Amino acid sequence: MTTINLKKISLFCLLSMLSVVLFLSTQVHASNELIKIRERGSIRVGTLYGQTSYYLGPSGPVGFEYELANAFAKFLGVKLEVVPSYHISELFPMLENGQVDILAGGFTITPERRNKFRFSPSYTLVSQKLVFKQGNKRPRKVSDLKGVLVVTSGSSHAETLNLMAKNNPDLTWAESAERDADELLQAVLDGEIDYTITDSNTLAINRRYYPDLSIGFTVANEMPNSWLLKKSDDDSLYALTIEFFGNWHKSGKLLALEDKYFGHVRKFNYVDTRLFIKAAKEVLPKYKALFQKYADDVDWRLLAAQSYQESLWDPKARSHTGVRGIMMLTLPTAKQMGIKSRLNAEQSIKGGAKYLNNLIKRIPDRIKQPDRLWFAIAAYNIGWGHIEDARIITQRHGGDPDKWIDVKKRLPLLRQKKYYKKTKYGYARGNEPVTYVSNIRRYYDTLVWLDEQHKDQQKKNELKSDLAEKSDE
């Protein structure tokens, strides 16, 4: 017969009750942060003003971090409340004081930050580059630095320099609380300082407009970027960042977003960029009105960028394959578009614009922008039939045939017999439309920037004029 120990049973019951109470209190506590966000109806995300994070474009807020944060807000079922700052040091106290729920600004995971904050899963990798102005003597290592080096205070670059100083006692630098990364790059161009350090993605974006920004050497190899969260025992929000990034990695959405902002700027050609900016200022004005007139549903600046890729804005251009004119039309395409003279700039632009718009309309409706546009531009270069072949290959390989980022990886396979012999349209130089689209995207971004700079200058001139008139009165 078994003897029942009432004391043990009582103790077991008491411990069980305490476990239940602790579990329930933990669950309530663990949900506090998320409950507050959902009761508020918005998630407050701190970020930095800048081309890689968040800025106001002609149609509203844009930026890699902005789009990512907006997607996370939708994932949570709340609105996105952006809390932007011009300086990184202003954001950290906001997170610690609960003024924001997350910091999303391309923050590198560093030992110092790891001690203070919690990190979401990483979503991209960046390296740190020592930047100097083209034409000055290139520093290839730390001991070559013979001038003023300035970085943003509170940045990962400052932390890197502090680590480097342990092995380089002669290394000196200044930290600025007033200037962000973009402003320090401008200071290098203006000759105010000799060097700065910036992230590889920030530099890639800026070199589209400022080709004289040159790389001395890599200060730190690729490191992961993550969102920052407040350190606490509350896992509710943190757990959902893991789920969100897991879904975005698996679905390919993260790769597609990265390609949208950075895919076309990874390669840099100093001479080509300088020549394009010069041509945009000196040659483009002759044809700008024509691009605007015939662009139809396409941004005229994109049409102009495509024309530069085709002919360098030369209305008399021709190639050995028989394409001619400022939009480099084939004779059959010109006839199909009703164009009599391919060497007439207006007719060529009209025909090229009509052909591009027709290609866009041919693409299945399920393919959304910007992929729809990239497919159409690639088809302008190589023909829609070859694009369809590449899409079929993409599907066979497990990729998404409706995503440019997946199809552009397979387009070069059209040069290989084992792939093109199984396609409808056969062999094609599939690597060419990949470069073609990438170049046009880069030229387009530069034209948008130059156009915005021109508009800003006009506003400043108008303001000066108004002030001068008032002073005369």
Active-site residue set: 310
The residue among 437, 447, 444 whose CA lies nearest residue 259 is 437
Query: Please, which contacts does 66-69 make with residues 24 or more away whose CB atoms are closer than 8 Å?
Result: 67/257, 68/104, 68/123, 68/254, 68/257, 69/43, 69/45, 69/102, 69/104
Element (H, E) at 223: strand 213-230
Cα angle 299, 357, 371 (rounded to 5 degrees) comes to: 70
Q: Are 47 and 105 in contact (CB under 8 A)?
A: yes
How many helices, marked H, and strands, marked E, lie in the chain?
A: 19, 11
Dihedral sign for Cα 221, 227, 233, 237, please: negative
Q: Cis before residue 370, ω within 30 degrees of 0? A: yes
Quote the tokens at residue 268.
Answer: 């840099």
Burial class (CB within 10 angstroms; exposed 0-12, middle 13-18, buried 19+) of 224: middle
Q: Are 205 and 51 in contact (CB under 8 A)?
A: yes
CA–CA separation, 78 and 176 (whole Å):
36
